[in-house]
């Protein structure tokens, strides 16, 4: 397997202080740490040739800097970036165009910059003109007279007709009118089919899911996670959801234990909550449609503990309740009697949740189901990884009639 | 080899763009490339030949001063224009450099060449005029390619070096025109060399462009060129041309890495 792109410990800093001494040192490749903003820190990554690789992250995470380093317009401050083959970057379309020059002149220069050999130049120019669907008469005019749609069509055509080995796409899929958008997307898909390497960066996670085989997640300049698309994208989605909640610090797969220090004055108490697979092993990750059990231990304060009911809610990590059920919802509900300590389990034979991070909330209620004796809210974090390409929260049974 | 050809192609296309875009949108168009120096020459001629009545000892007439002025001023305009444009070239195209993979050196190089093209055309016309009326000597003409080569090497090396330095220190953009003006009046372009007091004449060798102008006077007007000045020109060419290129290559690497 050949590697098309290889980043070894790449960091990229920007000199943000403009003192003479800082600039003078930078001239010789040296910087003081406090004069630098680090856009990328120690990123090591290798992308196999033929892979469609996604890059996701919040704004300012360093995605653009990384793309520019792969494209070759920026150098890493430290580390090494090795790119094999010709790169075409759809970063800022039309960046090298001059408004006063004609379409033809601009194409010619773009071709030379992309390294099209002289003997292929006329073929390249013809192909660009053809793909852009601009007439010869229009191409002879200065590009400043073009509509923005025409300009983007020409820029996209000029950038993608260079037969690249590595294609870098930065949210460039919405170019021109609908007809041309379809054409450009088809072209990117065709690159993929031809076994070219595509590095794709987008905020549109649906597109990332549809196109990419592997994904890297950049977080404040550092590589946070690299792996198969579904795992990384859903982890990122979940991270985005729980932004303003306190769940980020919780460790998945830890059962809930009643902390002895915080004993409530309740006749019955929750002692233990855990999520297990059907074999009885405590788990933190499961696939959609995998079976699992919520295991709850309830303890009675005294021998005359009142009868009670148990409720369990599955909560997504943005505090959205997904599904809640309780023993008193059963048609012939009989309150539970607790003598000393009792283990109760709730089994989901096939959990239809799609990708996401979830938690459990467990409540012990009185026999009317109204008063809460004890509760363990938002415990036992777990991750579900979707198996198909369906998107959303839960899998809803469906049938297509075609 | 293919790579060098590619660079040359980009250089040619980029220089074309530079020349076209500079005059684009103006009614006069390329005519300005001719008109601007002509007006400058006319101004200097009026002030120095008509008002101040400066005469060149070897070419005693008023026309003689005119020829002298052209022989020095035409190269100087190309030189000053080229250096200023080269120094500003990276700053002016900063956003391009960050978005398009571009052989950086092309930018100052094409600035220098774009300024040199009108100069060479003007010199060619000037040679025709000289052949008709002036003291054109074949022996002197042999120096012309040498002197032109020296100018090219000097401006390319210095221009590339200044381009990177200006990218780091924008202040140079303000400083360079002033320094160039200073150097202009220190060089024997508007006045004959003999006007400089004898005790300072020896110092002219520390002025790289003065030695270059001496060369042009020798080549075009068959004026004497001192051994010292000739040697100084060679050394300056080596220093500014070679040193500039080496410095440029050394400093260019850090440019894309921190800014």
**Residue range A306-353, pLDDT digits in tens:** 899 999 999 998 888 999 999 989 988 888 888 888 999 999 999 999
Please count the other Cβ atoms lying within 10 Å of the Cβ belonging to residue B21.
Answer: 14
CB of B229 closer than 8 Å to CB of B147: no
Query: Does A100 contact B25 at a Cβ distance shorter than 8 Å?
Result: yes
Supply B142's token pair. Answer: 């042999």
Rounded-to-integer distance, Cα A146 and Cα A130, Å:
17
**Segments in chain B forming alpha helices (H):** 2-23, 31-44, 62-92, 94-99, 106-133, 138-141, 143-168, 171-186, 198-201, 208-221, 227-236, 243-258
Nearest CB neighbour to A109, from listed B14, B168, B254: B14
Mutate to test the interface with B, among A73, A80, A108, A114 (most CBs of B within 10 A): A73
Q: What is the mean pLDDT of residues B170-183?
A: 91
Q: Which residues in chain B are closer than 8 Å to A14, comparing Cβ atoms? A: 258-259
Q: Is the dihedral of CA A235, A236, A237, A241 positive or negative?
A: positive
φ/ψ of residue A220, rounded to 5: 45, 50
Beta bridge partners of A88: A167
What percent of chain B is modeled with pLDDT above 70?
98
Residue of chain A whose alpha carbon sits nearest to that of B103: A113
Please count the other Cβ atoms lying within 10 Å of the Cβ belonging to residue A128.
Answer: 28
Q: How many cross-chain Cβ pairs, A to B, lie less than 8 Å apart?
A: 90
* Three-class secondary structure of residue A60 per DSSP: coil
Q: What is the DSSP letter of A343?
A: E
Nearest CB neighbour to B256, from listed A15, A28, A74: A74
Rounded-to-integer distance, Cα A72 and Cα A83, Å:
9
Residue of chain B whose alpha carbon sits nearest to that of A99: B21
| Whether pLDDT at A32 is above 80 | no
Rounded-to-integer distance, Cα B153 and Cα B146, Å:
11
| Whether pLDDT at A26 is above 90 | no
pLDDT recorded at residue A343: 93
Q: Which residues in chain B are closer than 8 Å to A22, comparing Cβ atoms? A: none
* Three-class secondary structure of residue B233 per DSSP: helix
Supply B64's token pair. Answer: 């003689």
Pairing of the two strands A214-219 and A52-57: parallel
Could you tell me the pLDDT band of residue A296, with boundaries at 50, 70 and 90? very high
Rounded-to-integer distance, Cα A146 and Cα A322, Å:
51
Q: Which residues in chain A are closer than 8 Å to B98, comparing Cβ atoms? A: 68, 73-74
Query: Does A26 contact B258 at a Cβ distance shorter than 8 Å?
Result: yes
Nearest CB neighbour to A108, from listed B13, B98, B99: B13
pLDDT recorded at residue A318: 85
Fold of A3-241: Rossmann fold (3.40.50)
**Segments in A101-196 forming alpha helices (H):** 103-113, 121-132, 136-139, 148-160, 178-193
pLDDT recorded at residue B244: 92
Rounded-to-integer distance, Cα B81 and Cα B185, Å:
16
Q: Which residues in chain B are closer than 8 Å to A109, comparing Cβ atoms? A: 10, 13-14, 17
| Whether pLDDT at A175 is above 70 | no
pLDDT recorded at residue B178: 93
Rounded-to-integer distance, Cα A389 and Cα A391, Å:
6
Could you tell me the pLDDT band of residue A264, with boundaries at 50, 70 and 90? low
Q: What is the dihedral of CA A272, A274, A278, A284, to 10 degrees?
A: -160
DSSP count for chain A of H helices, then E strands: 9, 18
The superfamily CATH assigns to domain A256-385 is abc- transporter (atp binding component) like domain (2.70.50.60)
Q: Is B1 at the interface with chain A, CB within 8 A?
A: no
- Angle CA B53–B58–B60, to nearest 5: 40
Query: Does B168 contact A26 at a Cβ distance shorter than 8 Å?
Result: yes
Q: Is A313 at the interface with chain B, CB within 8 A?
A: no
| Whether pLDDT at A246 is above 70 | no
First CA to last CA across chain B, in angstroms? 31
Pairing of the two strands A321-326 and A308-316: antiparallel
Nearest CB neighbour to A77, from listed B5, B102, B257: B257
Nearest CB neighbour to B257, from listed A29, A72, A96: A29
**Segments in A168-251 forming alpha helices (H):** 178-193, 205-211, 229-241
Q: What is the DSSP letter of A169?
A: E
pLDDT recorded at residue A319: 85
pLDDT recorded at residue A247: 66
Q: Which residues in chain A are closer than 8 Å to B256, comparing Cβ atoms? A: 73-75
Could you tell me the pLDDT band of residue A263, with boundaries at 50, 70 and 90? low
- ipTM of this complex prediction, to 2 decimal places: 0.76
CA nearest A267: which of A223, A307, A297?
Answer: A307
Which tens digit of pLDDT belongs to each residue from A202-229?
887 878 888 888 999 999 889 999 999 9
């Amino acid at each position: 397997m050949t590697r098309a792109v290889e980043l070894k410990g790449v960091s990229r800093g920007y000199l943000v202080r403009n003192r003479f001494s800082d600039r003078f040192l930078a001239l010789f490749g040296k910087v003081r740490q406090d004069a630098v903003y680090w856009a990328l820190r120690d990123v090591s990554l290798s992308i196999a040739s033929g892979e469609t690789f996604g890059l996701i992250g919040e704004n300012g995470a360093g995605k653009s800097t990384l793309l520019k380093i792969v494209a070759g317009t920026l150098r890493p401050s430290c580390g090494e970036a090795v790119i094999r083959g010709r790169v075409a970057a759809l970063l800022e379309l039309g960046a090298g165009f001059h408004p006063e020059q004609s379409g033809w002149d601009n194409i010619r220069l773009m071709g030379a910059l992309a390294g099209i050999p002289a003997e292929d130049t006329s073929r390249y120019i013809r192909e660009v003109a053809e793909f852009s669907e601009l007439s010869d008469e229009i191409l002879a005019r200065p590009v400043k007279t073009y509509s923005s749609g025409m300009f983007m069509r020409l820029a996209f055509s000029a950038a993608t007709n260079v037969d690249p080995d590595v294609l870098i796409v930065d949210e460039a899929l919405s170019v021109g009118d609908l007809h041309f958008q379809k054409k450009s997307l088809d072209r990117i898909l065709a690159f993929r089919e031809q076994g070219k390497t595509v590095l794709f960066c987008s905020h549109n996670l649906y597109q990332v899911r549809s196109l990419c085989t592997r994904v890297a997640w950049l977080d404040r300049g550092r590589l946070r996670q690299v792996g198969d698309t579904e795992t990384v994208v859903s982890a990122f989605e979940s991270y985005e959801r729980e932004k303003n909640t306190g769940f980020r610090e919780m460790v998945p797969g830890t059962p809930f234990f009643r902390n002895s220090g915080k004993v409530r004055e309740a006749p019955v108490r929750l002692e233990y909550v855990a999520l297990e697979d059907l074999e009885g092993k405590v788990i933190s990750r499961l696939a959609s449609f995998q079976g699992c059990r919520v295991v709850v231990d309830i303890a009675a304060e005294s021998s005359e503990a009142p009868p009670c009911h148990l409720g369990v809610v599955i909560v997504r990590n943005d505090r959205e309740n997904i599904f809640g059920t309780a023993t008193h919802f059963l048609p012939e509900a009989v309150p539970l009697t607790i003598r000393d300590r009792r283990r109760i389990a709730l089994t989901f034979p096939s959990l239809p949740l799609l990708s996401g991070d979830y938690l459990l909330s467990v409540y012990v209620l009185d026999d009317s189901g109204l008063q809460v004796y004890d509760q363990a809210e938002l415990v036992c974090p777990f991750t579900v990884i979707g198996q198909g390409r369906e998107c959303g929260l839960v899998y809803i049974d469906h049938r297509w009639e075609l | 080899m293919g790579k060098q050809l590619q660079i040359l192609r980009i250089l040619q296309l980029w220089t074309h763009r530079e020349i076209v875009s500079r005059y684009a949108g103006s009614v006069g168009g390329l005519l300005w490339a001719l008109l601007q120096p002509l007006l400058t020459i006319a101004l200097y001629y009026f002030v120095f030949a008509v008002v101040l009545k400066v005469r060149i000892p070897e070419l005693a007439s008023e026309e003689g001063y005119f020829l002298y002025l052209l022989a020095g001023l035409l190269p100087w305009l190309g030189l000053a224009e080229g250096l200023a444009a080269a120094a500003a070239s990276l700053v002016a195209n900063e956003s391009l450099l960050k978005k398009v993979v571009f052989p950086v050196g092309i930018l100052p190089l094409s600035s220098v060449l774009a300024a040199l093209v009108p100069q060479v055309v003007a010199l060619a016309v000037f040679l025709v005029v000289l052949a008709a009326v002036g003291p054109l000597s074949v022996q002197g003409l042999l120096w012309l390619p040498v002197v032109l080569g020296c100018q090219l090497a000097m401006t390319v090396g210095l221009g590339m070096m200044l381009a990177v330095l200006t990218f780091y220190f924008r202040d140079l953009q303000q400083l360079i025109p002033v320094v160039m003006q200073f150097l202009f009046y220190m060089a024997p372009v508007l006045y004959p060399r003999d006007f400089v007091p004898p005790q300072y004449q020896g110092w002219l060798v520390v002025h790289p462009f003065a030695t270059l102008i001496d060369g042009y006077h020798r080549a075009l007007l068959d004026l004497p060129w001192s051994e010292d000045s000739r040697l100084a020109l060679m050394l300056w060419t080596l220093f500014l041309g070679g040193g500039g290129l080496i410095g440029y290559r050394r400093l260019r690497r850090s440019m894309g890495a921190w800014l």
